[in-house]
Amino acid sequence: MPHLPVRPFRELFQLFFPALCCHCGEPLVGDETDLCTSCLAQMPWAHNAATPDNEVEKRFIGRVPCQSAASLLVFHQGGVAQSIVHHIKYYGNLRLARQFGLLLGKELLESGRFGDVDCLVPVPLHPLRKMRRGYNQSQLLCQAIAETLRIPVVTNNLVRRRYTTSQTHKSRQDRMDNMQEVFAVRHPEQFADRHILLVDDIITTGATTENCYHALSGIPGLRISIASLASTAF
């Protein structure tokens, strides 16, 4: 069987259809994938995993009694973190999800503050939305984090039972009203005396995480930590 000249074909293809940076839209060159060197250089790393009482933890004071919380990136409207979240969430960029999930997992591991977490729990999508999208972006992140932390991902216990409409243009109170009793736990005993890491793609007001906690509260001995790919600045 003849050896196909894959590289020349790929280079010819890229000449006419160049891969573009998912943030600035400039053509990628050399070994660049998904993001150009310039956008990588301006990545808004949060670097808060190792810091007690960090910005993410402060957001949940009086709302969710969490052991530790961290985000990998700081989210700004129109910023590179928004592009990454959108490309994972709406364009199914699995490579970005794995790349940044691994980076988040590494930060959590190196911080030494998430070492006794028993399992990863992605914030669930409603089954109908998951079916339409084809995947749950938080679950993709969990799968990459799990490679680093070497703990299981539990996807079938915390479930979303109401299909909520978009939260984007709602006020904080409307969001809270919209999220009441959205989540439920199928087998509370499975989480008893465990330390779970609740993982979401982005934390804004924290309302989604807080409503997950409402479903989880009351489970004896349960401890909760929180991690997200990005969180908005205060």
Binding residue for Zn ion, selected from 1, 18, 20, 23, defined by CB under 5 A: 23
Burial class from Cβ neighbours inside 10 Å (0-12, 13-18, 19+) for residue 116 reads exposed
**Cα–Cα distances in angstroms (integers) from residue 70 to residues 35, 74, 78, 189, in the given order:** 23, 11, 22, 26
Find the shortest distance in angstroms from Cβ 32 to Zn ion: 9
21 touches Zn ion by CB under 5 A = yes
Q: CB-wise, 95 or 161, nearer to Zn ion?
A: 95
Binding residue for Zn ion, selected from 12, 19, 20, 24, defined by CB under 5 A: 24
22 touches Zn ion by CB under 5 A = no
**Cα–Cα distances in angstroms (integers) from residue 124 to residues 55, 138, 154, 203, in the given order:** 24, 8, 10, 14
Binding residue for Zn ion, selected from 34, 36, 57, 60, defined by CB under 5 A: 36
Find the shortest distance in angstroms from Cβ 15 to Zn ion: 19
185 touches Zn ion by CB under 5 A = no
Count, residues near Zn ion per rule CB under 5 A: 5
39 touches Zn ion by CB under 5 A = yes
19 touches Zn ion by CB under 5 A = no
Q: Name residues whose C-beta falls within 8 Å of residue 205's C-beta, 6 or more positions apart in sequence.
A: 172, 175
**Cα–Cα distances in angstroms (integers) from residue 53 to residues 57, 67, 175, in the given order:** 6, 10, 25
Q: Are 71 and 203 in contact (CB under 8 A)?
A: yes
80 touches Zn ion by CB under 5 A = no
Distance of CA 172 to the CA centre of its chain: 21
42 half-sphere exposure, CB direction, 13 A CA radius: 12
Q: What is the C-alpha separation between 17 and 28, in angstroms, rounded?
A: 11
96 touches Zn ion by CB under 5 A = no
Find the shortest distance in angstroms from Cβ 26 to Zn ion: 5
89 touches Zn ion by CB under 5 A = no
Question: Contact region for Zn ion (CB under 5 A) — 37-45, 90-98, 150-158, 165-173?
Answer: 37-45
Question: Contact region for Zn ion (CB under 5 A) — 28-36, 110-118, 177-185, 223-231?
Answer: 28-36
Q: CB-wise, 36 or 216, nearer to Zn ion?
A: 36
**Cα–Cα distances in angstroms (integers) from residue 226 to residues 48, 87, 120, 208, in the given order:** 12, 22, 10, 12
Q: CB-wise, 12 or 29, nearer to Zn ion?
A: 29
Positions touching Zn ion (CB under 5 A) are 21, 23-24, 36, 39
